[in-house]
Amino acid sequence: MSSARGQAAQGGQEYATYQQSSGYETAPRESRHARAGTGAGTMAGNVLAGVLMIVGGGIAFLDGLGMIIRGGFYTYSSGYAYHWSTRGWGWTHLILGALIFAAGVCVLLGMVWARVIGVFLASLAAVAAFLTIPYYPVWAIVMIAIDVFIIWALVNRRRPA
C-alpha cells in the first residue's frame, strides 16, 4: 500500500511512518505489537510450567530410582498388554525425569528451544504415565493431567489486547 493511499485512508498520522526493514514495509501498529513482548499471563504460565517440569522431573527421577532399587514394591495385573519389567520402567522414568528436570530449568531461564523440547518431553512423560497405569493408577492419572497442563502452558502464547 502506498504512503499516500494509507494517509488518505487513515487520516495521515498512522501510515505516514512506515519503516523499511528487510525490504518489507511494516505498519506502526504491527511493529508496536511486535515490540510489546509477552504479557503477564504468558510469563506466569511459563514460570508455572517450568516449576512443574522441575518438580515432576524430580519426582519421576526418584520414582524411577525406586523402581530400579525396590521393583517388588510395585504390583501389576498379569493381563496387561504393555507388560515390561519394573526395572525397565524404572530406567525409563529415571532418564525421562532427568531430561524433564533439565528442560524445566532451561524454560525458567527463558530459552525458547526449551519450550519445544519441554512439549516433546511432557508428551513422552504423559505416554509413559499412561503405560504405567496398572502399576500405580491414581498417580499415573495425576501425572497425565499435569503433563497436559505443562503442554498447554508451554504452547499458549497470549498477546496483550
pLDDT 10s digits, 57-73: 998 898 888 888 876 66
In a domain? residue 53:
yes
pLDDT of residue 64: 85
Note if the pTM is more than 0.75.
no
Q: Same domain, yes or no, for 138 and 75?
A: yes
Q: Same domain, yes or no, for 25 and 104?
A: no
Is residue 112 within 8 Å of 158, Cβ to Cβ?
Answer: no
Count up the domains in the chain and report the number.
2
**Best mean pLDDT range from 27-36, 63-72, 79-88:** 63-72
Is residue 119 within 8 Å of 154, Cβ to Cβ?
Answer: yes
Cα angle 140, 137, 96; round to 5: 30
Q: Same domain, yes or no, for 62 and 106?
A: yes
Q: Same domain, yes or no, for 67 and 124?
A: yes
Cα angle 113, 21, 34; round to 5: 50
Beta strand ranges found along the chain (DSSP E): 19-21, 24-26
In a domain? residue 134:
yes
Q: Same domain, yes or no, for 73 and 138?
A: yes
- DSSP 8-state symbol, 13: T
pLDDT of residue 129: 84
Is residue 40 within 8 Å of 68, Cβ to Cβ?
Answer: no
Q: Show the domain range for 120.
A: 40-155
